[in-house]
Structure 1
Amino acid sequence: MSGLVTNWLMAFLHHLAAFALFTALAYEFILLRQPFSLQTAQSLLKTDQIYGISAVTILVIGFGRALHFEKGDAYYFHSLPFIVKISLFALVGILSIYPTVKFLSWRSSLKQQQLPQVSATTLNIIRRLIHLELAAVIAIMLCAALMAKGIGYFG
């Protein structure tokens, strides 16, 4: 019985973190469509922290589920949707580096309650990257649904 409780609890936490990640990313996208202000910059920095915590949580719990719970690594590593899902997750992580570094660079200005100096070009690059991240996260959701139904298993 304890294994069953652990399985559903890990699944719940994994999904909770995934929804938090998507929500944070969508909120960043919405914030970046507004005029750039001190409040917007502060919200972006805080939201990106939630995004990062969610991503790490997804990674830790997800690999824990794949290796120690559910169907085991032999199943998951023979599933094309799982491999694509992990690859897309890595891509999202790479795409998120630039925005996160930029947001973190604003900390000293924000501590002094000053608006960071950010060019329109930089904000456009961040917007595009976050848009790509959102698209990749949606593709990850598709892979998860395919995985759950055993589609693409080649073992």
Structure 2
Amino acid sequence: MSTLFAFLHHLCAFTLVSALAIEFALIRGELTLSSARRLQVTDLVLGIAAGALLIIGLMRVFFFEKGAEYYFHSHAFLTKLALFIVVGLLSIIPTVEFLSWRGALKAGQVPSIDAKKRRRVTAVIHGELFAVVIILLCAAIMARGGWV
């Protein structure tokens, strides 16, 4: 069972990173009806992957791996968890923007996003990707028993 949950955890993590990369590429390109719809779908996939990653990760901590006491005494784990929460909170900014496009997309129109909002959303997604790199570093440190 532990192997299954490790697999699901990694699957969700790779899905999350892929969705972030797709969002980053799409928001930097020309906004079209198609790319706006893809951004909304990709953001939904990102949200589902993040939620599943958190639930599966916590199940691994409490039920399948070394136990909560081990993880909650690990600075690498606590840093990883804190950064995951920060990424989750940051992701609200692009999600709210993408959801605001529903009316325009239903009407078959390309949503408008001014340059300032686009820069903000792009910067947030870039920040999320950077935080994921630090999360991966923390995971590697944890795997080696560091920062305990």
**Common fold, TM-score beyond 0.5?**
yes
1:32 maps to amino acid? I
Q: 1:76 aligns with which of 48, 51, 71?
A: 71
Q: Which amino acid aligns with 1:93?
A: G
Segments of 5+ residues of structure 1 without an aligned counterpart are: 1-5
The residue that corresponds to 1:36 in the other structure is 31
Q: Say which of 10, 23, 46 aligns to 1:15.
A: 10
Secondary structure of the 1:60 match is helix
Matches within 5 A, 1:1-155: 6-153=1-148
Q: What RMSD, in angstroms, separates the aligned Cα atoms of the two structures?
A: 0.7
Counterpart of 1:99 in 2: which secondary structure? helix
TM-score, structure 1 normalization: 0.94
Structure 2: gaps spanning 5 or more residues? none
- 2: CA distance between counterparts of 1:129 and 1:142? 20
Distance in 2 (CA, whole Å) between partners of 1:94 and 1:70 is 27
The CA distance in 2 between the partners of 1:23 and 1:51, in whole Å, is 8
Give per-residue Cα distances to partners, 1:94-144, cap 9 Å, x unaligned: 111110011011112112211112111111100000000000011101101
Secondary structure in structure 2 of the residue aligned to 1:32: helix
Q: Report deviation, 1:51.
A: 0.3
Identity of aligned residues (%): 50
SS at match of 1:86: helix
Moved over 2 A (4+): none
Q: Report the residue type matching 2:50 in the other structure.
A: A
In structure 1, the residue corresponding to 2:91 is in which secondary structure? helix
Paired residue total: 148
